[in-house]
Amino acid sequence: MDEPNREWHNSRVVVDFVPGVARAWWCDHVHWLVCDDGAAVVVCDVGRVSVPSLGLIDTLVRMRLTARRCGGELLLHGAGVSLRALLDLYGLASALPSDDHIERDGH
C-alpha cells in the first residue's frame, strides 16, 4: 500500500495549547504528531495562556523533549510577556524557542 502524499520532512503542525489538559496527554499528542505522523515541527500556540506557571513550563519543556527525541522540533507561538519573562527567569528562553511568524488560516 502506498504512503499518503505528505511532505514528511517539511511538515509543520500547529496545535492550540489549552491550559488544564494533562501533561501526559500533551506529550503523547506530540509523540503521535512527530513519531507516528511525521511532522517535522510542532508549533504550540500558547496565546490562550493568561497566567503562566511552573507547571505550564514543565509541560512545555517535556513536550519539546518528546519532539526532539522523535527527531522533530517544538516551537512556541503567541507567548505573552509574562510567559516570556518566566522563561527568561528560569533560563529556558532558548530551550523553548518562539516562532511568531507563522501564517494561520484567518488568524
Instruction: For helices 23-31 and 54-69, give the axis angle rounded to 10 degrees.
Output: 20
Query: For position 5, what pLDDT does the model report?
Result: 34
pLDDT at residue 102, as a whole number: 52
pLDDT given at position 99: 84
Supply the angle between the helices 54-69 and 81-89 in degrees, to the nearest 10: 80
pLDDT tens profile 28-86: 999 999 998 889 999 999 999 999 999 999 999 999 999 999 999 999 999 999 999 99
**Do strands 12-16 and 41-45 pair parallel, antiparallel, or not at all (unpaired)?**
parallel
DSSP H or E run through 102 = none
Q: For 83-106, what is each residue's pLDDT tens digit?
A: 999 999 999 999 999 987 555 444
Contact between 24 and 54 under an 8 Å Cβ cutoff? The reply is no
Q: What is the pTM of this model?
A: 0.81
> In the prediction, which pLDDT does 3 show?
38
Answer whether 87's CB lies under 8 Å from 60's CB. Answer: no
